């Protein structure tokens, strides 16, 4: 019997990813929903001792004796995010990225991402792909899953802090989940990003008839049915993170928070439902971080962990979206519930959407075939 040792894989550029459907947000929301059900049933693995880690990051010291070592400026890190996902996916992969907020001065995105998808049996590469769009759309799709189950079905008004990529993809997902949306309020820091956002909304969603640029976080939150904070900023002082105050939030609001966020004591109360994308993710972060952990990771779910540790919140009051998706916990229970969902981001999301895009590419003949070897030199 002759062994077939040849290994080929495909390379997918950003243009290839577009051709393979990476920006198909309704399909991405469906894929993330399927992923969450697998997550709830345990058919997955990520890194770390509890198999729920966000990933492993290289950070840089404030003071180094080496003149060429990078300084720890905002979003300055390298990170690997590996995961396995079961079900119909059955694949394993890792997202690798370098990030530096100063990239914007060079006309580049803050983060530059690549994703490698592997055969789970042999470990052989299946694809190496551009991952900025992959990551952006899977990140945006998770709030869409939240909105599908937790927002009012008649939601019309979306408030967005941060009109960048995450703001656009989150709105795309909200539109897929809540087609009655016709009004957007947005706050940004720079006119360039606001102009880009406004043009994109006009071209992409003509059914959105009102777009209002507001000048305060309060205006983003007040009178909105869905609220999302998609901003970037300095980490280290939670008092500087964008705040949600209970008095601003009207009954029935769904708040999706994939970025820096803090909240007042009114929002901490137990009548505000608190949902996370995966409790284990926040437990892994909390285990890894100095306390209080919210100082170091500004996602609101990490604050929930601080609150539990400090006795200000019961662990059983924290809910997983996976349990809701799986039908083993209720979604929105009435029109007056206020629900806040933390979105931390997980590598299983990249594996799920990356696998779908890879299979689309194979079916359509997209990508460049590359050879790893015909016969390995070492075996």
Beta carbons of 181 and 158 less than 8 angstroms apart: yes
Q: Which of 272, 244, 246 is nearest to 259 (CA)?
A: 244
Q: What is the pLDDT of residue 32?
A: 98
367: number of Cβ within 10 Å: 22
SS3 255: strand
Task: Give me 141's structure tokens.
Answer: 């799709």
Q: Please report the DSSP string for 107-155 in residue order.
A: T--SEEEEEEEEETTT--EEEEEE-HHHHHHHHHHHHHHHHHHHS-TT-
Per-residue pLDDT of the chain (379 residues; tens, 9 = 90+): 568 999 999 999 999 999 999 999 999 999 999 999 999 999 999 999 999 999 999 989 989 999 999 988 878 889 999 999 999 999 999 999 999 888 988 999 989 999 999 999 999 999 999 999 999 999 999 999 999 999 999 999 999 999 999 999 999 999 999 999 999 999 999 899 999 999 999 999 999 999 999 999 999 999 999 999 999 888 899 999 999 999 999 999 999 999 999 999 999 999 999 999 999 999 999 999 999 999 999 999 999 999 999 999 999 999 999 999 999 999 999 999 999 999 999 999 999 999 999 999 999 999 999 999 999 999 8
Q: Strand 77-85 to strand 91-99: parallel, antiparallel, or no bridges (unpaired)?
A: antiparallel
Residues of the chain within CATH 3.30.1780.10 domain(s) are: 7-134+348-373
Task: Give me 109's structure tokens.
Answer: 């995105």
Residues of the chain within CATH 3.40.50.720 domain(s) are: 140-345
Beta carbons of 306 and 291 less than 8 angstroms apart: yes
How far is residue 22 from each of residues 97, 147, 340, 352, 369, measured CA to CA in Å? 18, 21, 28, 12, 19
CATH class of the 140-345 domain in this structure: alpha beta
Give the C-alpha separation, 50 to 53, whole Å: 7
- Between vectors from CA 273 to CA 33 and to CA 137, what angle results, nearest 5°? 30
Beta carbons of 195 and 221 less than 8 angstroms apart: no
CATH class of the 7-134+348-373 domain in this structure: alpha beta
Q: Please report the DSSP string for 227-240 in residue order.
A: EEE------S-GGG
Burial code (b: 16+ CB inside 10 Å, e: under 16) for 274-308 equals bbbbbbbbbbbbbebbeebbbbebbbbbbbbbbbb
Q: What is the pLDDT of residue 1?
A: 55
Q: What is the DSSP letter of 47?
A: B
């Amino acid at each position: 019997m002759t062994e077939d040792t040849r290994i080929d894989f495909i390379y997918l550029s950003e243009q290839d990813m577009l051709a393979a459907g990476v920006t198909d947000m309704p399909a991405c929301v469906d894929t993330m929903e399927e992923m969450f059900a697998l997550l709830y049933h345990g058919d997955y693995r990520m890194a770390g001792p509890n198999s729920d880690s966000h990933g492993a990051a290289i950070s840089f010291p404030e003071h180094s004796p080496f003149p060429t070592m990078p300084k720890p400026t905002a979003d300055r890190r390298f990170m690997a995010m590996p995961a396995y996902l079961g079900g119909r996916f059955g694949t394993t992969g890792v997202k690798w990225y370098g990030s530096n907020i100063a990239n914007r001065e060079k006309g580049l995105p803050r983060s530059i991402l690549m994703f490698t998808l592997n055969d789970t049996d042999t470990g052989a590469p299946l694809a190496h792909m551009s991952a900025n769009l992959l990551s952006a759309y899977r990140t945006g799709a998770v709030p869409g899953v939240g909105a599908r189950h937790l927002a009012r079905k008649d939601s019309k008004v979306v408030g967005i802090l941060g009109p960048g990529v995450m703001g656009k993809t989150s709105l795309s997902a909200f539109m897929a989940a809540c087609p009655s949306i016709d009004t957007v309020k947005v706050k940004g820091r720079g006119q360039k990003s606001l102009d880009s956002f406004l043009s994109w909304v006009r071209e992409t969603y003509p059914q959105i008839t009102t777009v209002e640029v507001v000048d305060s976080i309060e205006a983003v939150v007040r009178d909105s049915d869905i609220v999302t904070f998609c901003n970037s900023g300095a980490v280290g002082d939670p008092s500087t993170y964008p705040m949600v105050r209970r008095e601003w939030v009207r009954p029935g609001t769904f708040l999706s928070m994939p970025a820096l966020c803090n909240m007042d004591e009114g929002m901490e109360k137990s009548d505000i439902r608190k949902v996370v994308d995966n409790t284990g993710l926040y437990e892994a972060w909390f285990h890894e971080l100095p306390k209080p952990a919210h100082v170091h990771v500004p996602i609101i779910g990490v604050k929930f962990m601080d609150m539990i540790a400090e006795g200000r919140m019961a662990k059983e009051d924290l809910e997983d979206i996976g349990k809701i998706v799986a039908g083993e916990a209720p979604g929105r229970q009435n029109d007056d519930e206020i629900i806040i969902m933390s979105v931390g981001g997980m590598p299983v999301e990249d594996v799920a959407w990356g696998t779908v895009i890879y299979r689309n590419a194979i079916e359509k003949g997209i990508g460049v075939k590359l050879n790893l070897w015909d016969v390995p030199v070492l075996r």
